[in-house]
């Protein structure tokens, strides 16, 4: 399979936030990601979609330096990924894994404050700027009512908002979210993705999210990047990807596309 959909163009004079050239990943002789080349602009909400095992989470981990690529190059803000120092990188990019770790005995406000670690370090003082960033993150994510509660006492949706608040406090320019709604009910899914969309639009944060639901991707994201069997096969605006021809290539399932009369949104339904 080869890339088919036209990639969104960057604005005149705009440099990509992320530039991947022939990036691949293999483990124990098994290729999980075939050579992939793509540019991603700043300030956009981008969905990574595809069937299970398509390479979505692998790609996100490579971008977030959770794993090293087997080949190719990744540039972030114009610099090779490997040339970034750990603290400098954490100040610009934040990564939320599929399974967030337990936080026994930790208050919500304490977890959010951990987002400031890249700025002051283990022995640094918590400055007025740090406090301001934490308070702003709490307000933006709407978690004020439970800042004094234990993290592990929260519902799944509440915990996701708290972890997002920690990433917002980190004040990074780019957030990587690996399946942030996979264990949530529909109400909390909408809540978390609405929050991510607001952060992108109101703060100019680039957000790259691994999603299984193409309808959620089309509703909340500016661009969709689709993988199949470790290969990039589509990259475009939701209108470009939400077609029967594209979706059967991505999911191997025939779908009909409907446009909702109330809001004009495209919805995919399996035949």
Per-domain residue ranges of the chain: 18-240
Q: From CA 98, how far away is CA 183, in angstroms rounded? A: 10
- Please list the pLDDT of the chain residue by residue as tens digits (271 residues): 444 445 676 665 668 999 999 999 999 889 999 999 999 999 999 999 999 999 999 999 999 999 999 999 999 999 999 999 999 999 999 999 988 888 999 999 999 999 999 998 767 788 999 999 999 999 999 999 999 999 999 998 899 999 999 999 999 999 999 999 988 999 999 999 999 999 999 989 999 999 999 999 999 999 999 999 999 999 999 999 999 999 999 999 999 999 999 888 999 999 8
Q: In Å, what is the CA distance from 15 to each residue of 9, 63, 124, 193?
A: 11, 17, 34, 27
Q: Give the pLDDT confidence score for residue 84 in this predicted structure.
A: 97
Q: Give the pLDDT confidence score for residue 68 in this predicted structure.
A: 95
Domain boundaries 18-240, corresponding CATH code = 3.40.50.300
Q: Give the pLDDT confidence score for residue 21 in this predicted structure.
A: 98
Q: From CA 218, how far away is CA 194, in angstroms rounded? A: 13
Residues 228-249 have pLDDT tens digits of: 999 999 999 999 999 999 999 9
For the chain, the farthest-separated pair of C-alpha atoms sits apart, in whole angstroms, at 58
Q: In Å, what is the CA distance from 239 to each residue of 206, 215, 265?
A: 20, 11, 9
Contact 47, 217 (CB under 8 A): yes
């Amino acid at each position: 399979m080869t890339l088919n959909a036209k990639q969104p163009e960057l604005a005149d004079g705009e440099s990509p936030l992320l530039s991947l050239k022939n990036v691949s990943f293999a483990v124990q002789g098994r290729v999980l990601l075939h050579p992939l080349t793509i540019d991603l602009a700043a300030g956009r909400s981008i969905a990574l979609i595809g069937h299970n095992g398509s390479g979505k989470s692998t790609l996100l981990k490579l971008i977030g330096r959770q794993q090293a690529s087997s080949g190719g190059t990744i540039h972030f803000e114009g610099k090779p990924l490997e040339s970034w120092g750990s603290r400098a990188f954490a100040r610009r990019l934040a990564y939320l894994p599929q399974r967030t770790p337990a936080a026994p005995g930790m208050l919500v406000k304490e977890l959010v404050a951990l987002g400031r670690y890249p700025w002051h370090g283990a022995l640094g003082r918590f400055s007025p700027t740090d406090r301001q960033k934490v308070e702003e993150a709490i307000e933006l994510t709407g978690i004020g009512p439970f800042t004094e509660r234990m993290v592990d006492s929260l519902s799944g949706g509440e915990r996701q908002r708290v972890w997002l608040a920690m990433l917002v406090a980190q004040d990074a320019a780019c957030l990587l979210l690996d399946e942030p709604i996979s264990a949530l009910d529909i109400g909390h899914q909408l809540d978390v993705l609405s929050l991510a969309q607001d952060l992108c639009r109101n703060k100019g944060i680039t957000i790259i999210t691994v999603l299984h639901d193409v309808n959620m991707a089309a509703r909340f994201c500016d661009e969709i990047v689709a993988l199949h069997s470790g290969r990039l096969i589509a990259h475009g605006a939701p209108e470009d990807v939400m077609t029967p021809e594209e979706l059967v290539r991505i999911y191997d399932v025939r779908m009909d596309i409907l446009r909702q009369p109330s809001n004009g949104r495209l919805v995919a339904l399996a035949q």
